[in-house]
Structure 1
Amino acid sequence: MDFELILAIAFIVTAAAWIYDRIVYAPKRKAVMAEMAPEALSQLDKNTKQHLAETPKWLSEVKSYFVIIAVIFGLRSFVIEPFQIPSGSMLPTLKIGDFIVVNKFDYGVRLPVLNTTLIPTTEPKRGDVVVFKYPEDPSLNYIKRMIGLPGDVISYHNKRLMVNGKLVDESLLAELPVSLNPNREPVRLYEEHLEGVDHQVYKSFRRNPLEGDWVVPEGHYFVLGDNRDNSADSRVWGFVPEENLKGRAFYVWLHWNEFFSLPSFKNNGLIE
């Protein structure tokens, strides 16, 4: 379900109803109220006034949602947008069930649904955690870490990442048994140092066939999941077009993994 498209349609429908009412029925209601005695007018509540001059009930109902939908649509389209993490591809940075907030302004003010840039702001940076429309199905939203910028040469062999011929530094933090890993397999926990952005990644002990060398074309980006051996990312389906970018994920505000579990705020904080 493309909620952004549904919200855009709701905004257009309620806005059209509001404008139609203002042009056609609002003057008629004003004329009717002008002819009423002050005592009678004072006894009318707001709902009754809205239905004077034979204003259709459906029109009053639809236009009544315009303001609240316009506020939600504006905030989600141009300022911030909430998402829930559905998979473990970004472990250990983001857990399944994390609710995050995405900054929609970082990569430019974009036209809703079409995602065309109206006002450029800043460019994506290596190490950002980004939300984007999945290239093979734009109705789906994906979240990964930005690794390759336009023109970069990316290599991934023997579980080591190389950017423009330079091996990305990493430090082994721990070896985690099955009981401590949601992947249900033992993994190594590393801290990766990606040009000033330090973040943690998982690597399994098994061999990963997702290896190769890539040159990032202009207007595209190369992304990886922090759960390196359990992530379908640019190694699988290719590059992310610039117009698919939705924003930068910057904050976890809630964790709620299962419907019948209690929400938790203990992992709230900025996303690294």
Structure 2
Amino acid sequence: MATVSKLRQSWIYFKRAGIFCCVAHCITTHVVEPVQCRGPSMMPTIEDGDLFIAEHLSRSLNTIHRKDIVACRSPIDPNMLVCKRLVAKEGDRLQSSQLSRVPRGHVWLLGDNSDRSTDSRSFGPVPHGLVSCRLVYR
């Protein structure tokens, strides 16, 4: 009888742990997650190693605005997440680029430290689908 009780307790424990993991995964994938920014491209706004709370709802609701700092998959290395400032959205005019306007479905991202940033000046407009979240709280 004691073995059945221990098996039942184990089952309940693993069931709750599974539910917790599923909920945690859904929250970090679709609502908020911690993001650590590395490198000098956003200095002095963001120092190397700063930790942020990033939210995904703005991307899902298409409410990311110009001047927001976003994290996106690097167009050069999709395994890397980069933190940049969104400076122009589709249709916006560009002043210091070979392009005259940001193409449809794309954004223009720049690092605050232009001398040490690899950004849209290097890799061009970024597809909006690569933008994963907006950094909201340090």
Instruction: Please give the range of the TM-score, normalised by the shorter of the 2 chains.
Output: 0.7 to 0.9
> Which residue, out of 1, 4, 7, partners 1:48?
7
- In 1, Cα distance between the equivalents of 2:45 and 2:69? 10
> Residue in 1 aligned with 2:106?
220
1:125 corresponding residue in structure 2: 65
**% identical equivalent positions:** 30
The alpha carbon displacement at 1:76 in A equals 0.5
Moved over 6 A (4+): none
Q: Any idea what SS the aligned residue of 2:20 has?
A: helix
**Cα distance change on mapping 1:138 and 1:61 into 2, 3 Å:** farther
List alignment gaps of at least 5 residues for structure 1: 1-39, 53-59, 109-120, 157-211, 253-272
Q: Is the 8 A contact 1:153 1:213 kept in 2?
A: no
Aligned: 1:87 with 2:27: no
Amino acid at match of 2:106: H
Report the 3-state secondary structure (helix = DSSP H, G, I; strand = E; otherwise coil) of the residue aligned with 2:23: helix
Offset at residue 46 of structure 1 (A): 5.3
TM-score (norm 2): 0.86
**What is the match of residue 99 of structure 1?**
51
Structure possessing the higher radius of gyration over alpha carbons = 1
**Equivalent residue of 1:229, what SS?**
helix
Q: Which has the higher strand share?
A: 1
The C-alpha deviation readout for 1:47-104, integer Å capped at 9, x for no partner, is 433679xxxxxxx997664223212201111110111111111111111111111111
Change in CA separation of 1:46 and 1:131 when aligned onto 2, cut-off 3 Å: farther
Aligned pairs for 1:119-268 within 5 A: 121-156=61-96, 212-214=97-99, 215-252=101-138
Secondary structure, counterpart of 2:113 in structure 1: coil
- CA pair 62-44 structure 1, distance change in 2 beyond 3 A: closer
Equivalent-residue separation in structure 1 for 2:79 and 2:85 (angstroms): 20
